Structure 1
Amino acid sequence: MNTAENWRPLELTPSGTGADATPAGLVEYIGQAGLAELLVREKALVFRGFGVSSGSYDTVADALLPQRLAYVHGNSPRTKVAAVGKNVYTSTEYAPEYQISLHNEMSYAHQWPGRLLFYCDRAPSTGGATPVVDGQLWLESIDPAIREAFAGGVRYTQNLHGGHGLGKSWQDTFETEDRAQVEAFLAGAGADWKWKSDGTLWITQVGPGTLRHPVSGTEVWFNQADQFHVAGLGEDAALLMELMSEDEMPQAASYADGTPIPAEHIIHIQEAGLRHAVDVNWNAGDLLLIDNILVGHGRRPYTGNRRVLVAMSD
């Protein structure tokens, strides 16, 4: 069993598990492994050498994800890949030269997936690892004064355009063209929203700063303040702030009461996570299953035709 200081994902192979080196062998092993308990204990699992292809992915994913979820209210640019399986998406479609900072998927939303399953359809030529971090270690490595500042949570603000503009449209974000359906979703989420005259949907809601896992009780760092805050988004976002106010930005973050988060706090949080991150390098056919509360994830820059797909479940 991993301890906090030397944590890394548990790697499972045919030779290590005694399972056949086939997708069917992996499915059989999953059915016998006590997956739910294993995942909570180890926090992340890497499956290698089972020959999983895009044609066999759906059957394997059914065994690993109890109920695959649509990426509704998802903030990242993705494409749905229906040919591979139900509710399967490309991983975040940012340019390969950029690093994606560590985060827990949809921690800004009122509901988030409990599990994420990554699948390497095509390996990168260089780079492109998925760094993962133990959320408890991340929390403990953040300055206590900053942790205290986040105790009340994070206020996230989004401006989702109606078809033309920066960032994602509300149609892509909610996978619908129906305004009433979006409004019903947001009402259930306890969010505040309004439609602007140009068709933009403005949304604001408060999420947690930290979270306790429902099974283990472990408290972890759990928010996406750095991915919504301009200080965490690089030079391009900083230049954008010279052209528009924070209220007009596609996304922004503050403390729950609206107090601005200092840029140095955002940088400290990102650096603290990266100090403890462990890279998962990809070969075609590999799978990475993570507990989305216990583990944060990101992406290293890469070259080549990398294609990593992701699916989510509760």
Structure 2
Amino acid sequence: MGNGPQWAPLEIDPAGAGAEATPDGLARHLRGLADLEGLLTREKALVFRGFGIGPGELDPVLDLLLPNRLAYVHGNSPRTKVGKNVYTSTEYPPKYTISMHNEMSYAHRWPARLAFYCERAPETGGATPVVDGTRWLEALDAEVRDAFAAGVRYNQNLHDGLGLGKSWQDTFETGDRADVEAYLKESGAEWEWRPDGGLRVSQLRPATVEHPVTGDEVWFNQADQWHAAGLGDETAAALAKIMPAADLPQSVTYADGSPIPPEHVVQVRDRGLAAAVDVGWRAGDLLLIDNVLVGHGRRPFTGPRRVLVAMSD
């Protein structure tokens, strides 16, 4: 699986940066960098530790790391908006692992960068694993890579305010159907409004992409998170009893509409996690990642944990 030493994010602390151990010290360091974008592309992920960033000091730092913060429009994860295009990380029970993924790889536009901020560290666990997308791709069997070569088709059933999963209003951050249709038309998605007021969306997306600067081919899809088998055997069996796959809040097939075998999904999920490097959290830490070169997830944890996320193009 890949050649050379294991990849890991670059850690930057006040001593290494020659900066004061304060939020202002980090801000001055970031302003003094000749090429933050180039540094992030080379290193793929950066961890800023020891600068004592409190919640009230986060915005000025994010403005430097993410000059054009984006709204989480068409996002499928449950989140709460807490600031200027700042959101809670995926709100998912703490006992479960969140598998590796690139943010919004199922959409026609995805963020180029993500920043994670630890407001409150958990008592145990709760690391954010990050994975080099080239290593993840290389870790998969040739049979699996070939099966996904034509891409994947993502399907969503979004209710009108009452039902399983997210509503279309929450997903698109609007209650205006015309705005939703304009977004979907631009994205090339297929959609239909259902008699009960819900919305069905289908979109074909690639399974791998090339980074626009490095040219590296990376695994870049969320098939395992959209497939019932990625949730575990018991959950998949329970969902199958409730409704057919076509009616689930979200599902995925190969590009031609044929089903993806559960064993392919499990291999993608497990090998991505196996290739990942854990970023543990202390309050005030920041993690900046290139969202194409690096996938991310979440390890289980105990105790309160509050990690916020923002994204930019």
TM-score clears 0.5: yes
**Cα shift readout 1:90-147 (whole Å, capped 9, x = no counterpart):** 0000011111000000000000000000000000011100000000000011001110
Which residue pairs with 1:243 in the alignment?
A: 242
Structure 2 residue ranges without an equivalent (≥5) = none
- In 2, distance between residues paired with 1:238 and 1:214? 40
**Cα shift readout 1:28-47 (whole Å, capped 9, x = no counterpart):** 11122221000000000000
1:7 aligns with 2:25: no
**Pairwise CA distance, 1:6:** 1.2
- In 1, distance between residues paired with 2:96 and 2:271? 19
**Pairwise CA distance, 1:4:** 5.3
Supply the AA of the counterpart residue of 1:20.
E
- In 1, distance between residues paired with 2:257 and 2:237? 20
1:104 aligns with 2:105: no
Report matched runs for 1:15-26 at 5 Å.
Answer: 15-26=15-26
1:55 aligns with 2:71: no
**Pairwise CA distance, 1:192:** 0.3
**Cα shift readout 1:246-288 (whole Å, capped 9, x = no counterpart):** 1100000001110110000001111111111100000000000
Which residue pairs with 2:257 in the alignment?
A: 258
Which residue pairs with 2:42 in the alignment?
A: 41
Which residue pairs with 1:159 in the alignment?
A: 157
Which residue pairs with 1:148 in the alignment?
A: 146
Which residue pairs with 1:282 in the alignment?
A: 281
1:176 aligns with 2:174: yes
**Cα shift readout 1:161-212 (whole Å, capped 9, x = no counterpart):** 1000111000000000101110110000000000111111000001110010
Aligned pair partner of 2:117 in 116, 119, 130: 119
TM-score when normalising by structure 1: 0.97
Structure 1 residue ranges without an equivalent (≥5) = none
Q: How many residues are paired up?
A: 309
Deviating above 4 A after TM superposition, structure 1's stretches of 4 or more consecutive aligned residues are: none
Report matched runs for 1:70-109 at 5 Å.
Answer: 70-82=71-83, 86-109=84-107
User: Among the aligned pairs, what percent are the same residue?
Assistant: 66
> SS of 2:241's equivalent?
coil
- In 2, distance between residues paired with 1:5 and 1:255? 34
**8 Å Cα contact 2:153/2:204 also seen in 1:** yes
Q: CA-atom RMSD, angstroms?
A: 0.9
